[in-house]
């Protein structure tokens, strides 16, 4: 019998359409992906534990039950901290509470500059004391990341999806800064995520209705997007690259504990709470400050942080 091929099909012959294979049980496939992600996480944790000498656990090696770490973004000169976050890692409850401290917060000190964003230039002990002045919590560790480091960390994570709330269009040749973002939900790579974080106002003077507080609230969108990405299977697979970027670009006093502390934070990614130091903007002596509300701040700390 002659075998039919494409050249000798009858004129009216129509081959049957190929059937697409469908997953018989998509639920099992999803469970498999989750289990694979957990396995990868355990392997990463075990290897890092071997390299650091810390005790192995599924959630990651914990350094201390409760730890207060300052995470800040530093400008190119290393003089000012453009963003300041007091991060309390509680491994007893697997909670991560993050307090954002506005860069223009007024503090009592012996410097001519009374804003907290210049404290780190005088040393971490100075910065820690001024954070303690505001919160009653004296952090003992810090992680400082420059703008270039931030870009590489986001790229190592594979970018993040953020809903940009407003048009962002600003240029500053002195800082070699160019920000150009359209509003709407979009995936940001490291370069554009840095634009998102650094935006304060447009060239025409428009911007956030609430000034620096609006900027802080918007930045939380990026933090949340980073946490969601880290929790995802794709994010877990990329964690080694993210940790490597953090180690490469950060300045810290954690030394060999850095990887363990970062993994402590990642282990708490399912229970993260963001807070902003309560207060309001005021002009004092012709200078714009953020003046914190002492009573409201004390209440916020007592309800969410361990002292």
What CATH fold (topology level) applies to the domain 32-304?
A: Aminopeptidase (3.40.630)
Q: Dihedrals φ, ψ of 286, to 5°? A: 80, 5
Q: Which runs of consecutive H residues, i.e. helices, occur in the chain?
A: 26-52, 124-135, 147-156, 190-198, 212-231, 233-249, 258-267, 294-304
Domain locations in the chain? 32-304
- Structure confidence by residue, pLDDT tens digits, 248-302: 888 999 877 887 888 788 878 889 999 999 999 999 999 999 999 999 999 999 9
Is residue 143 within 8 A of residue 252, CB to CB? The reply is: yes
| Number of other residues whose CB lies within 10 A of the CB of residue 19 | 6
- Structure confidence by residue, pLDDT tens digits, 139-179: 999 999 988 889 999 999 999 999 999 999 999 988 788 99
Burial level of 189, CB count in 10 A (0-12/13-18/19+)? middle
List the structure tokens of 79.
Answer: 């003089």
Is residue 216 within 8 A of residue 209, CB to CB? The reply is: no
- Structure confidence by residue, pLDDT tens digits, 89-109: 998 898 999 999 999 999 999
Angle at 147 between CA 109 and CA 124, to 5 degrees: 30
- Structure confidence by residue, pLDDT tens digits, 47-84: 555 444 445 454 444 457 899 999 998 876 667 898 89
Overall size of the chain counted in residues: 307
Q: Dihedrals φ, ψ of 301, to 5°? A: -65, -45
Handedness of CA 173, 165, 200, 225 (dihedral sign): negative
Helix axis angle for 294-304 and 124-135, nearest 10°, is: 100
List the structure tokens of 101.
Answer: 């401290």
Mean pLDDT for the chain overall: 84
pLDDT value, residue 11: 59
Residue 42 — pLDDT band, cuts 50, 70, 90?
Answer: low
Residue 7 — pLDDT band, cuts 50, 70, 90?
Answer: low
End-to-end CA distance of the chain: 88
pLDDT value, residue 52: 44
Residue showing tokens 């005088």: 122
């Amino acid at each position: 019998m002659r075998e039919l091929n494409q050249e000798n099909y009858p004129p009216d012959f129509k081959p049957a359409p190929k059937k697409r294979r469908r997953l018989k049980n998509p639920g099992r496939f999803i469970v498999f992906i989750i289990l694979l992600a957990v396995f990868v996480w355990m392997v990463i944790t075990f290897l890092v534990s071997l390299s650091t000498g810390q005790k192995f656990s599924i959630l990651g090696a914990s350094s201390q039950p409760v730890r207060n770490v300052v995470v800040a973004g530093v400008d190119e000169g290393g003089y000012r901290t453009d963003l300041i976050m007091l991060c309390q890692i509680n491994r007893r409850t697997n909670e991560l509470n993050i307090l954002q401290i506005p860069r223009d917060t007024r503090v009592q000190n012996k410097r001519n500059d009374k804003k907290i964003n210049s404290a780190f230039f005088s040393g971490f002990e100075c910065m820690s004391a001024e954070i303690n002045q505001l919160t009653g919590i004296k952090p003992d560790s810090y992680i400082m990341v420059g703008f270039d480091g931030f870009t590489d960390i986001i790229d190592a994570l594979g970018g993040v999806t953020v809903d940009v709330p407003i048009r962002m269009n600003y240029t500053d040749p002195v800082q070699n800064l160019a920000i150009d973002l359209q509003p709407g939900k979009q995936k940001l790579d490291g370069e554009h995520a840095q634009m998102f974080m650094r935006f304060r106002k447009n060239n025409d003077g428009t911007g956030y209705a609430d000034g620096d507080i609006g900027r802080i609230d918007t930045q939380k969108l990026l933090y949340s997007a980073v946490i969601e990405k880290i929790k995802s299977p794709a994010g877990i697979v990329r964690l080694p690259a993210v940790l490597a970027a953090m180690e490469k670009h950060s300045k810290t006093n954690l030394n060999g504990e850095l990887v363990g502390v970062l993994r402590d934070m990642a282990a708490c990614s399912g229970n993260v709470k963001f807070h902003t130091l309560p207060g309001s903007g005021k002009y004092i002596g012709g200078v714009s400050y953020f003046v914190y509300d002492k009573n409201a701040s004390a209440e916020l700390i007592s309800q969410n942080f361990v002292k």
